[in-house]
Amino acid sequence: MTTTASRVVTRPTRINPSSWNAALRFDQAQLRPAPAELLTVAGQGPVDESGRLLHEGDICAQLSLTMRNIETVLAAARMNWADVLRLTIYTTDVDGILAAYDAIIERLGEATPPATLLGVSRLAIPGMAVEIEVTAAR
């Protein structure tokens, strides 16, 4: 347990009955104490501040920008990846996301939130290949 700017951060109990998920750096489950605050983040995608899609056709760049946009929302709530309880990743190209998954891993640092990857036929903006929802708490 560590203290950060007058808040106590408790590491989750990682639950992984098997190890298939280790290479993708997420836990199958995590047990945490009940939070005082819960942040639900709407799907974030590879868009600029005006909502314009960037990096059409480049799934790795789209994934990196999406993760950066999530970090911006987390920071606005005074949170970071250690506060993330789960990720839900929607994509029109599951194989492309798996090939570019390092873009997620490098942003997460030591955090290993449970994650779900879902293939969908399309997302809100034509050309968008990835959208990620986040639940965070402290």
List the one residue out of 69, 59, 44, 57 whose CA is nearest residue 99. 59
Q: Residue 107: inside a domain, yes or no?
A: yes
CB distance 55 to 62 below 8 Å: yes
Confidence (pLDDT) at 14: 86
Q: Residue 3: inside a domain, yes or no?
A: no
Q: Residue 10: inside a domain, yes or no?
A: no
**Where residue 101 sits, what CATH number does that domain have?**
3.30.1330.40
Number of domains in the chain: 1
Q: Residue 65: inside a domain, yes or no?
A: yes
> In this structure, what token pair is assigned to residue 27?
């836990």
If one compares 87 and 33, the residue with the highest pLDDT of the two is: 87
Going from the C-alpha of 109 to that of each of 6, 26, 40, 65, 120, the distances in angstroms are 22, 11, 21, 16, 27
Task: Please check the confidence at residue 56 and state whether its pLDDT lies above 70.
Answer: yes
Q: Residue 28: inside a domain, yes or no?
A: no
Q: Residue 19: inside a domain, yes or no?
A: no
Structural domain of residue 98, as residue ranges?
37-137
pLDDT digits (tens, 9 = 90+) for 3-44: 444 556 677 888 888 988 888 878 888 888 888 899 999 999
Confidence (pLDDT) at 2: 44
